[in-house]
Chains A and B, each alone.
Chain A
Amino acid sequence: MKKAIFGDNQFFGVNHSSDEKSRAQAIRFKDNKAILDVLDIAIEEGIETFMCTTHDRIAEICKIIRDNPKYKDFKIYPCMPYAHKYANAVTELGIMGTIKQYVPGNIFSTVAKGGLAFVKKDFISMMELMIDAELKMFKGISTPVVFLQNVITDMLLGLGMTDFLVGFYNHIKEKHGAEAGFITMNLPLLLDTLEAAGIKNPIVCASINKAGFRMSGSVEAYEKVIAQKRCRLIAMQVFAAGVLPANEALEYVCKLDGVDSILFGASSRGNIKQSKLLIDTLSS
């Protein structure tokens, strides 16, 4: 049976096929209560896992669910970093300015104590500090898998900076006692790269849909890799940004041998119920 995982794009106005819909969603989910109400519906429909970006709003949601026994079995898969926060910061402050703003402990003000030397010598440690800072908001909440966002995973893949992918994987396991996951738009390249670095059977979340949307290279290349079962695979963008009908979209991914879980987002009880039911019946 495939597992349904609930996503968060709808809460933050992320819609890959319509800027207009995304603005409407941003208005609807202005208050945290509106987000919590939808999460409650997902839980009532039997979904236990919420995959979400380390957005400032999620920190507020975490504060509310942390101490509420209603959410004791609820799991969060954090996805970091919230890239737009850093991308806008780089445009405005430059790379050094962004590091200064977001690396904890104001690393550049402690040059006298060897801060800058430390930064220059050990970028993996700097990344670890940033990971720890982003994960703070989830303290006391079950986070069995922590994901690296596709913009970072894919950038590191292109740059050939595999050290950081391995560094992320090790740090999540060793420091946080969780499993590392990788979100990607480049599934075949990611698996080849991770395997060459000694990481076998990783948790990966990739765009997989009947329309072939965001399946880099070709649909055939993806289907071949999926069938090889080289990773624990979560399918995302299964509705191809909302252009595929639910039934047709879910039938394709549920029947794909090699897909373990399906990530989807929805805002209404009707849509959540329908998707959950379709995932359960089509994959049983």
Chain B
Amino acid sequence: MVRAGIIGLGKMGISHCAILGAHPDVDLVAVCDTSSLLNEVFKKHTRFEFFTDYKKMIDTMNLDCIVIASPTKYHADMVSYALNNNVNVFCEKPFALNAEEGKTLAKLASDLKLVNQVGYHNRFIGTFNEAKRLLEANVLGELYHFLGESYGPVVLKEKVGTWRSEKGQGGGCLYDYASHTIDLINFILGKPVKVRGTQLKSIYSADVEDAVYSSLTLQNGLTGQLSVNWSDDTYRKMSTQITVLGKKGKIIVDATELKIYLKEENKSFGLEKGWTTRYITELTDLVNYNLRGEEYTAQIDHFIDCIKTKNINNISSFSSATNTDELIALLLNDNQ
């Protein structure tokens, strides 16, 4: 059994807590949060030991791994402390507020040969993986443009909020929403390295942006656009879509379906001329426990498998997450 602990019991922390709690190979032994309310609930209604000091939890609980789901500004210190105590780390996204710190932590984890993962769950969705596979096989020919979009209804009116609405804390649409879109572009198409014409727009929030628009250039030379808005209530929940255009056709992919248009039939991939649609129902593997979608369990399963097999080639490593943090810094800089 892998002994696990969690720091931070917000929305993602509680979700990870349930997934680890139901995992057949994991013994979730400890959780940590500063809320006295949660302390009371967990003490009264669960079997997990409750801590308010994460260092004490790491010092005393003999953990194999830890999930860090605290506000972003605390990630670097917590990750560093866990790694230096020989604990494998799964950290929520975005990874670090400062990309340089992120790089240092990625190197530390790699030097210590500890499993390191960041919670970019889109990397575990069947449709996006299928898009990656098709693009790597060059089914669209030479690519000339992409569009990465995420929209959803988070901040819909002007009012005071939590750490997510404070400047410089890792909140705002850029850190919370756009980080997913940027990471997915990195995963499917390549590492973004340049930005131009960035607009970070505040719509309802006083101190952070509610929308992010920019033009990106990838390391491989491909250019495209980023369009993200978390104040759009025409969406029921967060929806992320990547559109890729190539000389041989086009792919439009979201978490539920992959649509591909080809000018000519591609026999080796079973793709007809014109449109072909593949649904998530045929592209997803069953997980042992399902809470909010297969991908949330799949990413934790991958983390635990990596620990069991001592595999540090993680699908969503600190190193790849640092690419996203670096791009966030470029976007902030370009907006000024």
Q: Does B135 contact A (CB under 8 A)?
A: no
Q: Does B40 contact A (CB under 8 A)?
A: yes
Is B291 a contact of A123 with CB atoms below 8 Å?
no
Q: Does B310 contact A (CB under 8 A)?
A: no
Residues in A neighbouring B289, C-beta threshold 8 A? 154, 158, 186, 189, 216
Is B241 a contact of A19 with CB atoms below 8 Å?
yes
B221 CB → nearest A CB, Å: 30
A234 to B231, CA, bound (A): 37
Q: Does B56 contact A (CB under 8 A)?
A: no
**Given A151-B292, A214-B290, do A13 and B236 touch, yes or no (CB 8 Å)?**
yes
Q: Does A18 contact B (CB under 8 A)?
A: yes
**Given A158-B289, A159-B18, do A123 and B161 touch, yes or no (CB 8 Å)?**
no
Is A96 a contact of B11 with CB atoms below 8 Å?
no
Q: Does A218 contact B (CB under 8 A)?
A: yes
**Given A18-B279, A19-B239, A94-B10, do A212 and B256 touch, yes or no (CB 8 Å)?**
no
A108 CB → nearest B CB, Å: 10
A193-221 interface code vs B (CB 8 A; 1 in, 0 out): 00000000000000000011111111100
Q: Does B19 contact A (CB under 8 A)?
A: yes
Is A93 a contact of B288 with CB atoms below 8 Å?
no
**Given A19-B239, A155-B291, do A240 and B281 touch, yes or no (CB 8 Å)?**
yes
Is A92 a contact of B241 with CB atoms below 8 Å?
no
Q: Does A160 contact B (CB under 8 A)?
A: yes
A215 to B40, CA, bound (A): 34
Interface segment among B42-50, B113-121, B242-250, B327-335: the answer is B42-50
- Total interface residues in chain A, CB < 8 Å: 54
A185 to B290, CA, bound (A): 6
Residues in B neighbouring A16, C-beta threshold 8 A? 256, 280-281
Residues in B neighbouring A20, C-beta threshold 8 A? 257
A18 CB → nearest B CB, Å: 5
Is A95 a contact of B37 with CB atoms below 8 Å?
yes
Q: Does A87 contact B (CB under 8 A)?
A: yes
* Chain B minimum-CB-distance residue to A156: B18
A23 to B232, CA, bound (A): 13
Number of A-B contacts (CB under 8 A): 132
**In chain A, residues 139-167, which have Cβ atoms closer than 8 Å to a Cβ of chain B?**
151, 154-161, 163-164
Return the contact of B288 from the options A91, A97, A216, A242 (Cβ within 8 A).
A216
Dominant secondary structure of chain A at its interface with chain B: helix
Is A17 a contact of B256 with CB atoms below 8 Å?
yes
A119 to B37, CA, bound (A): 8
Q: Does A112 contact B (CB under 8 A)?
A: no
Is B164 a contact of A92 with CB atoms below 8 Å?
yes
A121 to B45, CA, bound (A): 11
A134 CB → nearest B CB, Å: 19
Return the contact of A22 from the options B40, B44, B236, B279 (Cβ within 8 A).
B236
Residues in B neighbouring A15, C-beta threshold 8 A? 256
B256 CB → nearest A CB, Å: 5
* Chain A minimum-CB-distance residue to B176: A91
A119 to B18, CA, bound (A): 23
A49 CB → nearest B CB, Å: 24
Q: Does B286 contact A (CB under 8 A)?
A: yes
B1-40 interface code vs A (CB 8 A; 1 in, 0 out): 0000000001100110111111000000000000111101
Return the contact of B286 from the options A23, A95, A155, A217 (Cβ within 8 A).
A217
Q: Does B111 contact A (CB under 8 A)?
A: no
Q: Does A175 contact B (CB under 8 A)?
A: no
A186 to B35, CA, bound (A): 30
Is A212 a contact of B257 with CB atoms below 8 Å?
no
New A-B pairs, 18, CB < 8 Å, besides A20-B257, A90-B10, A214-B290: A16-B256, A16-B281, A17-B279, A26-B234, A88-B154, A92-B164, A94-B10, A95-B38, A96-B35, A97-B162, A123-B44, A154-B18, A155-B291, A159-B46, A186-B290, A189-B22, A211-B282, A212-B286
Interchain Cβ contacts under 8 Å between A and B, 8 examples: A90-B10, A92-B162, A93-B161, A155-B14, A161-B45, A211-B282, A216-B288, A241-B280
Query: Which A residues form the contact surface with B (CB < 8 A)?
Result: 12-20, 22-23, 26, 84, 87-88, 90-97, 119-121, 123, 151, 154-161, 163-164, 185-186, 189, 211-219, 240-243
Query: Which B residues form the contact surface with A (CB < 8 A)?
Result: 10-11, 14-15, 17-22, 35-38, 40-41, 44-47, 153-155, 161-162, 164-165, 176, 234, 236-237, 239, 241, 254-257, 279-282, 284, 286-292
